[in-house]
Amino acid sequence: MPLDTFLTKFFPNPATKNLPYPLQLQFLERMSRLLNKGYPLLEALEIVTWDERFADITAEIIKELKNGRPIDVCLKKSGFSKNVVSFLYFARIHSNLDEVFHQCSTMLQLDRTYVNKFKQVIRYPIFLSIFLVIMLVVMDQTIFPALLDLFRSGQESIGLQIAVNLVSFVIGTSKVFLLLLIFLALLWKFKHKKLSINSQIKLFEKIPLIRDYQKIKLTFLFATHFHSILSTGTSMKEALHVISSQNHYPLLAHHSLHILHQLEEGATLAQAIHQCPLFRAELTTIFHKTADLTTMTRDLAVLAEMLTEMTKQKLNKALELIQPIFFVIIAVFILFIYGSIMLPMYQWMNQL
């Protein structure tokens, strides 16, 4: 699940017109079907206007197209997501619009599905965590002081003292963690674009989860766009120049530019790709295995599909683990607190 999707949801830009995701998805699916049936772009847009929900959107797109603007700029102005606009940018080169619209609709559907799943999975753990923190604050302010006063005249319970210290630690840690999380989110929002590409790469390499996410994302983007451009008969160097000149994916452009520099210095394509830290090893294998353009294009398309399936599996596995882990942690903590309070009470009652 992309990080920029979550940041966009929590920190929307009020100056940007954002089209709702369900409308974007339906528009892309319809355009993909119409273009696949052989309709020209403008005629397909005219047919989409038959649905009154899309009348204003498509009218604006048609107007911009007739003014000579490319399709990605038109959709950006109409409020489509950054990922859709980025994919459509490459359609300027290979012009396979029906495939690009299909890819965009699949990408949005995947994003929407897992965002909704994540919301459903995390809802109850968050509720229980908030309830637990509130309960701990109440215990720390009311119950524990009364129990400590009760046991102060007799033998003090070690378990109770441990519980008091643990609860105080958890409350303090929760406050620090929340403030740190808010600080890091704000810092990333306002400062990450000012970091140099090399600094971003070094930062991503140090954080395992983000490193794995970036590797899958960049490898998928490179494989998808490189094979789409190569399928038009463009040479590999020209395709790399196209990818390196775009500004939608700065990390992808940086890696493509690095590959071009390595090729100019006499390295093979496999050797150049191997030196890119945020590309998966499968890319090197593909370019090392064959120099045949047709086979290479086919293998890149297969790799893009494989990475999509791998992403789905990883997200499903992560979502399946979130709730059990949260519930086990909360249950163990509650049982420990309960036992730390009740055992001293039973000991005190037996002494009466």
At 150 the pLDDT is 61
- Complete DSSP assignment for 268-307: -HHHHHHT-TTS-HHHHHHHHH---HHHHHHHHHHHHHHH
SS3 label, residue 308:
helix
Q: How far apart are CA 328 and CA 144, in angstroms?
A: 24
Angle in degrees, CA 217, 206, 7, rounded to 5: 50
At 5 the pLDDT is 45
Q: How far apart are CA 114 and CA 326, in angstroms?
A: 19
At 10 the pLDDT is 40
pLDDT tens, the chain, 352 aa long: 444 444 344 444 444 467 888 888 888 888 888 888 888 888 988 898 888 888 888 888 998 888 888 888 888 888 888 888 888 888 777 667 888 888 888 878 777 777 777 777 777 777 777 777 777 777 777 766 766 666 665 555 565 666 667 767 777 777 788 788 888 878 777 776 677 888 888 888 888 888 888 898 899 889 888 888 887 778 888 888 888 888 888 889 999 999 999 998 888 888 899 888 889 988 888 888 877 778 888 888 888 888 888 888 888 888 788 778 888 877 877 777 776 666 666 666 665 5
At 16 the pLDDT is 47
At 159 the pLDDT is 59
At 8 the pLDDT is 45
At 11 the pLDDT is 40
Q: Which domains does the chain have, with CATH numbers?
A: 16-109 (1.20.81.30), 198-319 (1.20.81.30)
At 343 the pLDDT is 66
At 4 the pLDDT is 45
The reply to whether the predicted model has a pTM over 0.85 is no
Q: How far apart are CA 220 and CA 312, in angstroms?
A: 13
